[in-house]
Structure 1
Amino acid sequence: MTTPPFPAVSEADLAVLREQLGRPARGVIGVAARCVCGNPTVVATSPRLPDGTPFPTFYYLTHPAATAAMSVLEADHVMRAFNDELAADEDLAVAYAQAHAAYLRDRAEYGEVEEISGISAGGMPTRVKCLHALAGHALAAGPGVNPIGDRALAMSTWSPQRCVCAQPGTSG
């Protein structure tokens, strides 16, 4: 778990990110979570990209196996069940709203961007829209901060405690 401010991103990190994403990473300000082997798993992205585009997804899930696992859950319509649970469980709704506020506080340390003011990611604070974003936040912030991200990670076949990278320093 890494919270702002983040250590400088290394050239090796950028190379791994380029391999993971299949393109150069944009606006990376830090690695917010790493695989047990040291590869980036989640990056923190500037709220305004270098080309001036507002970018609300501060915590961006990059690890190929993690993104694939979240895609499987989304294809299995897990988000529908999470939305139903969010609507029925007041404690969960409060915790999810607190996750939204925490996300916004973290991003605000890197600047306020009017176009995305109050917008976090993944559907927070009232719905579940993108498990990739919520899992990224949960991995970056640590357990107990984003309850839906935590649940998605617990349901997935991928684990941050087990490396599935080809070798240290590559994304495999």
Structure 2
Amino acid sequence: MTTPPYPPVSDADLAVLREQLGRPARGVVGIAARCVCGNPTVVATSPRLPDGTPFPTFYYLTHPAATAAMSVLEADHVMRELSELLAADEDVAAAYRIAHEAYLHDRSAFGEVDEIAGISAGGMPTRVKCLHALAGHALAAGPGVNPIGDRALALSSWSPARCVCAEPGSGG
């Protein structure tokens, strides 16, 4: 787990991000989580992009295998299951609200943007909207911070403990 502020992003990191994303990364302020091999998995992104656009998704999942795994879960309607869990379990709902506050706190270290004030990512604090964002937060913050992100990672076919960066199409 890496918490703000982050060490400077290297040119090598930016090159890997370009390969992972298929375009240059925008507004990167740090690498928030890395693959076990050292490649970026989650970037921390400025709350205002260089072109002036507000950007609420502070923790942005970049690893192609991780993003593919979250896409599979979304296609399999796992968000509905996680939304039901959120609605039924008060402890999960309370932890999710705390995760939302932690996300906002982390992002605020890089500036406040009025257009996105109080908005985190992934549907927090009341719904499950984007597993990519929630998994990114869970990876950046570490286990036990974002219960829905942790659950999505546990349900996925991808693991942060196993490198697949050298596999074709995986961004490494």
Alignment of structure 1 residues 7-86 onto 2, 5 Å: 7-86=7-86
Alignment of structure 1 residues 122-137 onto 2, 5 Å: 122-137=122-137
Cα shift at 1:94: 0.3
State the SS of the aligned residue for 1:148. Answer: helix
Cα shift at 1:166: 1.1
What residue identity is the alignment partner of 1:166?
A
What residue identity is the alignment partner of 2:98?
Q
1:108-147 deviation digits (Å, cap 9, x = unpaired)? 0000000000000000000000000000000000000000
Cα shift at 1:85: 1.1
Give the corresponding residue for 2:115.
115
1:47-87 deviation digits (Å, cap 9, x = unpaired)? 00000000000000000000000000000000001111111
Unaligned runs of 5+ in 2: none
Alignment RMSD: 1.0
Give the corresponding residue for 2:166.
166
Unaligned runs of 5+ in 1: none
Give the corresponding residue for 1:101.
101
The structure 1 segments of at least 4 consecutive aligned residues displaced by more than 4 Å after TM superposition are none
The two structures have a TM-score, normalised by structure 1, of 0.97
Separation in structure 1 between the aligned mates of residue 129 and residue 54 of structure 2, nearest angstrom = 19
Cα shift at 1:171: 2.0
Separation in structure 2 between the aligned mates of residue 160 and residue 86 of structure 1, nearest angstrom = 24
Separation in structure 2 between the aligned mates of residue 29 and residue 109 of structure 1, nearest angstrom = 11
State the SS of the aligned residue for 2:4. Answer: coil
What residue identity is the alignment partner of 1:13?
D
